[in-house]
Amino acid sequence: MLKKFIGYYRPHVGLFAADMVCALLIAAVDLLFPMVSRYAMQELLPHNSYLTFFAVMGALVAAYLLRAGFQYFVGYYGHLLGVRMEADMRGELFAHLQTLPFKFYDKNRTGHLMSRVVNDLFEVVELAHHGPEDVFISLVTLLGAFVILLTIEWKLALMIFALVPVVILFTIYRRKQMNAASRKVKERTAGINADIESSISGVRVAKAFGNESYEMEKFNEGNDRYRVAKKGFYRQMGIFQAGMDFFTSLMNVAVIAFGGLMIMLEGLSTIDLLTFSLYVGTFLQPIRRLSNFVEQYTVGMAGFVRFQELLAVKSDITDAPGAQALRNVRGDVRMEHVTFSYDEGVSVLRDVSLHVRAGQTAALVGPSGGGKSTLCHLIPRFYEADSGDILIDGQNIRTLTLASLRANVGIVQQDVWLFAGTVMENIRYGRITATDDEVVEAAKKAEIHEDILTMPNGYQTYVGERGIMLSGGQKQRISIARLFLKNPPILILDEATSALDTVTEARIQSAFDKLSAGRTTLVIAHRLSTIRGADEILYIDGQGIRESGTHDELMAKNGLYAQLYRVQFGGEK
């Protein structure tokens, strides 16, 4: 894992090296100051060498100016390094998410995935740019201070450094407590976010049922839990800060106490004592940094592991080696003994075979949940059949490239998905490169042009999240317009189940008819009136295809289809 993590530094190795050099120089200046002060007090002051003394002080100011420059570099470019790595990782993750199949999204919640792409990576990147810097600066300063102090007075140095592990252990322990408390706060925050998201997107339902106070109660519970968690966190923070301050003071007292003892017993000079005291100030900061690193490492690595886990999820629907592009499609669609289930043991399609000749229209009818949509989703390989073959113009779809397969199959789903944006952008989604004129042309064919002209900003009207500002019929026709732009030879039309008024229904039907002219079409029909002219009608239920034939044939047969038809239309034929 660590090796993989380090791999992300590779493209930015120059910046990283510069960052480390600056970190080293910062540590060097920190180590220099007490030494120089000692030199000044020991060598220059007793001889009244004013000039040299002030020259040295001037040099110190210059050193601190340089240090400020290095600090700026580390603060700015160090973070920049982090941001670049974050962008790399997020880009990689997003690209990966695009390759994952329907099945993956059936099982994973959107909010959860979002938090992985956004929050987890944030912590990974904090580690990525603070981690090496913190460890480097701290170790150099601590070791440097130790070595210097050893040369001045080794006994005193050992005494003081005996305290360092105690301080480190204390900070690590308290940090852990603080970290646990902060994790709780994060969880509760996520809970609140989820509550707010769900309540706000469901606000129309809440109002319709007059359940505002129920929503409020639900929210208050989460809000209280958050408050309690935050209280716990601040308690831990209070203990940590008080403890750190205590140890700072303790170190200072220890230096004077042990140092005083050495002065009395061994004749240590007061200047050396002062130098020791200055070094204590220098290495408390690295201790804080080190303990900070320990925490960051745990959290960041956990985030990195989750990131890698997500990257490791491989799509089982990919181009086979040597896959061919589907070209010059006539549109002959054949299914041979196809069996499929979403979850093992619960079969949805069993041994289904069908043949739709190029340019013909086949209608799928049957009870809801019978597997009509599922069957259609197998053709563009949204899901993979467990066994059996699907052939287009005689070519097995498993031997074709996914991109070319999907480019040749167009689908109008019941739930039309519109992206937050304008009507123009949403239609153009059918073919991103289409010109404005082509979009308008497609809208005309889909019988939505006039509706769009009556919208406040015409084609530039914002449709709202998921197209909330449009009617169901309008959304359907927008998705038909998309397909006029895409112009695929094979069509799958999932009729809207929701009741549409007769005018809208007629317009959608006329748009559907125009669209399917000259294309192989599979219609999932809910209103049987619309499919009387279909070349073939297939009756599907949980057991597979039960009947097939034209409307007249099936009526004459007086089986399942005829029964369904009579339920919809009473006795008439």
Provide the binding-site residues for ligand ADP, judged by CB under 6 A.
Answer: 106, 342, 348, 368-374
Q: 429 CB contacts (<8 Å, ≥6 apart)? A: 419, 482
Q: How far is CA 333 from CA 258, 359, 391, in A?
A: 90, 10, 6
Q: 389 CB contacts (<8 Å, ≥6 apart)? A: 335, 336, 337, 338, 396, 398
Nearer to ligand ADP, 347 or 461 (CB): 347
Q: Is the dihedral of CA 182, 186, 188, 189 positive or negative?
A: positive
Helix-helix angle 50-99:121-152, to 10 degrees: 150
Shortest Å distance, C-beta 472 to ligand ADP: 18
Nearer to ligand ADP, 389 or 541 (CB): 541
Nearer to ligand ADP, 151 or 368 (CB): 368
Q: What is the CA radius of gyration of the chain?
A: 36
Shortest Å distance, C-beta 416 to ligand ADP: 16
Residue ranges with strand state E in 326-468 = 333-341, 347-356, 361-365, 387-392, 395-396, 409-412
Nearer to ligand ADP, 280 or 525 (CB): 525
Shortest Å distance, C-beta 317 to ligand ADP: 14
Shortest Å distance, C-beta 374 to ligand ADP: 3
Nearer to ligand ADP, 52 or 315 (CB): 315
Shortest Å distance, C-beta 373 to ligand ADP: 3
CA 212 to CA 199: how far, in whole Å?
9
Nearer to ligand ADP, 269 or 347 (CB): 347
Shortest Å distance, C-beta 347 to ligand ADP: 10
Nearer to ligand ADP, 373 or 422 (CB): 373
Nearer to ligand ADP, 98 or 368 (CB): 368
Which residues partner with 347 through β-bridges? 341
Nearer to ligand ADP, 229 or 379 (CB): 379
Instruction: Pick the closest to residue 379 from 493, 270, 473, 469 (CA basis).
Output: 493
Count of helices and strands (H, E) across the chain: 19, 10
Contact 469, 462 (CB under 8 A): yes
Nearer to ligand ADP, 106 or 572 (CB): 106
Instruction: Pick the closest to residue 124 from 165, 92, 102, 164 (CA basis).
Output: 92
Q: How far is CA 560 from CA 354, 355, 527, 541, 566, in A?
A: 18, 20, 15, 10, 10
Shortest Å distance, C-beta 105 to ligand ADP: 9
CA 356 to CA 558: how far, in whole Å?
23
* Residue with tokens 């960051």, as numbered in its chain: 296
Shortest Å distance, C-beta 369 to ligand ADP: 4
Instruction: Pick the closest to residue 258 from 185, 162, 192 (CA basis).
Output: 162
Shortest Å distance, C-beta 372 to ligand ADP: 3
Shortest Å distance, C-beta 371 to ligand ADP: 4
Other Cβ atoms within 10 Å of 329 Cβ, number = 20
Nearer to ligand ADP, 369 or 464 (CB): 369
Q: Side-chain half-sphere of 422: how many Cα atoms within 13 Å?
A: 13
Shortest Å distance, C-beta 539 to ligand ADP: 11
Three-state secondary structure call for residue 537? strand
